[in-house]
Structure 1
Amino acid sequence: MQLLHDRLRNRSWTRPPPDPFAGHMTVDYPAQTVLLTGASSGIGAAFAKALAARGSNLVVVARRAERLESMADELRRTTDAHIEAIPADLSHPTAAHELHQAVADRGIQVTSLINSAGFGSFAMFPGADPGQLTAEIAVHAMAPVQLTAAFLPQMMNAGNGFVINLASVTAYLPSPRMAVYSATKAFVLSFTESLWTELRGTGLTVFAVAPGATATDFTAGMGPDAGVLTAGKLRTPEDVVTTTLRHLERRSPGPTVIDGHFNQLSVFMSRFMSRRRNALMMARVFDPDRRSPSQPTR
């Protein structure tokens, strides 16, 4: 006891020196030129509006050219941000290279990157369209890696930006009828968390955001069998963006942020169950054929 008393008495109770790897307390939004994929609708469009309102210049990218240009025109009318719209289909193997070249040809120096492009289907894997599955892998996994690699040198040179990748709660809870989608989001999560460790101290803030079911064209396009996803109250794209920017503005952002208290609780509880039990639980949630009569689809 005397030894403990002496150690406590001699201990310095001052705060430890600041962490050299700590993130920024505030984000200099007007200094950012953000490359934003999936910007024509949903979470991507919500990011575009929020960042433009904060003074960031944007390079917005999406597959649907007319819808993208319409959204860009709206931002030009309502904000002072410079908006450059570049249509691109990121499912094509050369899309990332061509996008990088298009940005360079315009003389734009990108300081930050948000990979939010995405789509998916809600169907059993047997009989699924192989072309669509390949496109999902390309858009969700290959494109973020290729775009990060292409723009990382100039982002590191700027040294005050961020890389945000859109993962999903299904990265933690692989789901029937969303097998490839879940797998690609697990890839995004692992890739981003590894990148977070590699780029600490560079001035770049890196993390993934993991939404659950969100009211977007993505969810609406998954078909009538996806009704289980909308059984509860959906989060909005604006909710996801608010969660993301709050995390970005923390002093030391962690490698992942999960949107919504229910989603956070679901992921937390899954840590106390085996992978087998988690898989069976998600089978009951997502596969109507596996539900008992006492567990109807709402």
Structure 2
Amino acid sequence: MATTDRQATTLALAHALSAAERGLAVIPLSRTKLPALRSPHRDDPAPAPCHGECGRPGHGVYDASTDPARIRELFAAAPWATGYGIACGLPPHHLIGVDLDTTSETDSPTALRELALRHLFTIPPTVVVLTPSGGRHLWLSGQPDVVVPNSAGRLAPGIDIRGAGGYLVGPGSRTRHGAYTAAPGTDHLAPAACPPALLRLLLPPPRRPHRPAPAHTATDAHGRGLVQFVRSAHEGQRNTRLFWAACRAYEDGLGAALVDPLVEAALDTGLTEREARATIASAARLTGHRP
């Protein structure tokens, strides 16, 4: 192992132990951001589901621990590790990660602000981790009796959620693309409580029996509000707003009736019909409906 790799492993272990002191359960990660230890069952002809009951390491997030001796054992078994992952959903913080991706195709910070305005919540001061690609991870504390699932793009394109069974790359980790660092002024903070209105959005919608929407649905107040929300989008917000509105429409039983009005609104903002229908179809699939 090169000297730089040894240094990265030593630093990752130090950061992981520091996180554990704050009650955060950790695992070693490789430069690919994946768990550094391979599954002990990888060569089993018919492996049975195992979340670490076998006692051997290599079960991903299920290896996560706050015990310093156990953490040192895990890193000793993975001397190539250059980072660490923080398990979400575990006590005492019941950590929830809001992953804001920033690319030319998405404007997730703007989408989160729009969600906050629409649902009347604010993100309190909390830990913010800067990613090598320019994104941000916001750390929030959940509730003991609420299980937040992992999701990708359900809130809006470019916003992923790390919940129970998931993990966040910890600050101080080094990957192939660079280092993860705590945003200035946030590394001393504890994860802030997730606003109740946001927490409700993070939970999967209750399953509802499918029934045809009544003919007047597309013109009721809620439907008109969703259509207007799309029509008022500026460039850079168009796909985000359309996707969000379509998700809400399908979750509220309005999806089929609002497809054409939403497409018309999207056309008014400058999207093509093909782009609009593809975005609405993605929202339908994500919410468990047939496009």
TM superposition score category, shorter chain reference: under 0.3
* TM-score of the two chains, using structure 1 as the length reference: 0.24
User: RCO (CA 8 Å, sep 6+): is it higher in 1 or 2?
Assistant: 1
* TM-score of the two chains, using structure 2 as the length reference: 0.24
